[in-house]
C-alpha cells in the first residue's frame, strides 16, 4: 500500500502497466495477518478498553451529535454528493475540451468508488462479527469472538466487520491510481488526504463503540485492493492507463 510504488505506468513499448499480482498478494496477506494478530493477541480489545475507560466506562460518543450527525450521517451524505459531482463531470467531459487523461481519471473514479463501498457493505452484511458495543465486556449481551473464528456469537449474527464507514474515506486511495497520468505530483497529497479521512471516520466509529481497530485496517486493505484491481481492469478495457487516458502532449496541457 506504499505510495512510493508506481502501480500504473506506460512501458517503453506503449503497453500499459499495472499493479503486479505479487504486489496484490503481498498487500492482501499483510492486511489479513495484521487483522488476525490484532484480534487474536487481544490488541483490539486493549485499544477498545482504553477508549471505553477514557469515556467513563461507556461509549459517550455513541450518540454525540458531532459523531452521529456530522462525522457519520453527514460524512456519508457528503461522500454521495462528491460522487454525484464526479459522475456529472465525467458525463459532461465527453462534450468538453477536457484533456483525455482527465476524462479517464474521472471515469475510473466514478467506477471504483462505489465498488469499494459495495464490497465493504456486502462483507459487513455477511461477516457475522459483533460491534464492541454489543459485547458483554462493554455492557452488551454477547461474548467476544475473534474474526475468522468460524463461530456465531448470537442470533441474528453481527454485521460490524469490516468498517464500512471508514471505507468511505479509504475508498479515495483510488486517487493514487487516478492521478498517475493526469497530475502525478498530486498523488502524494491525495493519498495523504484519503488516509487521513479514513482514519478520522475510523477513529470516530471506534470512539462510538462501533468497530475495533482491525476492522478499520481491513477496510483500508480492501479499498486499496479494489482500487488496484479496478485499475488493472480499466487498463485492460481501454488498452491504456485507466487514469492517464491521453498522450504525453495532452498530459502537459
Structure confidence at residue 149 (pLDDT)? 64
DSSP-derived letter for residue 142 is B
Structure confidence at residue 7 (pLDDT)? 39
Residue 203, domain member (yes or no): yes
Structure confidence at residue 19 (pLDDT)? 67
Tens-binned pLDDT, residue by residue, of the chain (253 aa): 444 433 333 333 222 234 677 888 899 999 989 999 999 899 999 999 999 999 999 999 999 999 999 999 999 999 999 999 999 988 888 776 766 677 888 889 999 999 999 999 999 888 888 999 999 999 999 988 877 665 655 567 788 999 999 999 999 999 999 988 778 889 999 999 999 999 999 999 999 999 999 999 999 999 999 999 998 888 765 555 554 444 333 333 3
Structure confidence at residue 125 (pLDDT)? 84
| Alpha helices (runs of H) in the chain, residue ranges in sequence order | 21-40, 43-54, 65, 75-93, 100-126, 164-170, 174-182, 187-208, 213-238, 248-251
Distances from the Cα of 92 to the Cα of 30, 106, 186, 251, angstroms: 40, 11, 23, 19
Structure confidence at residue 66 (pLDDT)? 96
DSSP-derived letter for residue 135 is B
| b/e per residue 159-190 (b: at least 16 CB within 10 A) | bbbbbbbbbbbbbbbbbbbbbbbbbeeebeeb
Count of structural domains, the chain: 1
CB 155 within 8 A of CB 176: no
CB 243 within 8 A of CB 108: yes
Structure confidence at residue 249 (pLDDT)? 34
Angle (CA) 170 242 96, round 5°: 100
**Which residue do the cell numbers 505479487 mark?**
22
Task: Give the whole-angstrom CA distance, residue 219 versus residue 225.
Answer: 10
The residues near 175 (Cβ < 8 Å, ≥ 6 apart) are: 109, 186, 187, 190, 191, 193, 194
Structure confidence at residue 159 (pLDDT)? 85
Q: At what angle do helices 43-54 and 21-40 cross, to 10 degrees?
A: 60
Task: Give the whole-angstrom CA distance, residue 31 versus residue 134.
Answer: 25
DSSP-derived letter for residue 171 is G
Task: Give the whole-angstrom CA distance, residue 38 versus residue 47.
Answer: 10
Structure confidence at residue 150 (pLDDT)? 58
Structural domain of residue 40, as residue ranges? 21-251
Residue 121, domain member (yes or no): yes
Residue length, the chain? 253
Residue 7, domain member (yes or no): no
> Do you find a cis peptide bond into 198, omega within 30 degrees of 0?
no
Task: Give the whole-angstrom CA distance, residue 165 versus residue 78.
Answer: 12
Structure confidence at residue 155 (pLDDT)? 65
**Which residue do the cell numbers 452484511 mark?**
125
pTM equals 0.83
Amino acid at each position: 500500500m506504499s505510495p512510493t510504488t508506481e502501480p500504473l505506468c506506460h512501458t517503453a513499448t506503449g503497453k500499459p502497466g499495472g499493479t503486479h499480482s505479487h504486489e496484490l498478494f503481498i498487500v492482501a496477506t499483510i492486511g489479513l495477518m495484521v487483522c488476525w494478530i490484532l484480534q487474536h493477541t487481544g490488541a483490539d480489545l486493549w485499544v477498545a478498553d482504553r477508549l471505553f475507560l477514557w469515556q467513563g466506562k461507556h461509549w459517550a460518543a455513541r450518540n454525540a451529535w458531532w459523531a452521529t450527525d456530522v462525522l457519520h450521517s453527514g460524512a456519508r451524505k457528503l461522500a454521495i454528493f462528491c460522487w454525484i459531482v464526479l459522475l456529472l463531470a465525467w458525463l459532461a467531459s465527453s462534450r468538453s475540451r477536457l484533456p483525455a487523461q482527465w476524462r479517464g481519471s474521472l471515469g475510473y473514479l466514478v467506477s471504483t468508488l462505489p465498488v469499494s463501498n459495495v464490497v465493504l457493505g456486502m462483507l459487513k452484511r455477511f461477516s457475522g462479527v459483533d460491534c464492541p458495543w454489543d459485547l458483554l465486556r462493554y455492557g452488551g449481551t454477547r461474548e467476544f469472538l475473534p474474526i475468522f473464528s468460524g463461530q456465531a456469537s448470537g442470533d441474528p449474527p453481527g454485521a460490524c466487520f469490516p468498517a464500512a464507514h471508514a471505507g468511505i474515506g479509504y475508498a479515495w486511495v483510488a486517487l493514487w491510481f487516478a492521478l498517475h497520468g493526469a497530475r502525478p505530483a498530486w498523488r502524494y497529497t491525495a493519498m495523504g488526504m484519503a488516509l487521513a479521512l479514513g482514519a478520522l471516520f475510523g477513529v470516530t466509529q471506534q470512539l462510538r463503540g462501533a468497530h475495533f481497530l482491525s476492522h478499520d485496517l481491513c477496510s483500508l486493505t480492501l479499498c486499496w485492493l479494489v482500487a488496484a484491481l479496478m485499475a488493472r481492469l480499466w487498463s485492460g478495457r481501454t488498452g491504456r492507463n485507466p487514469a492517464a487516458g491521453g498522450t504525453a502532449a495532452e498530459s502537459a496541457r
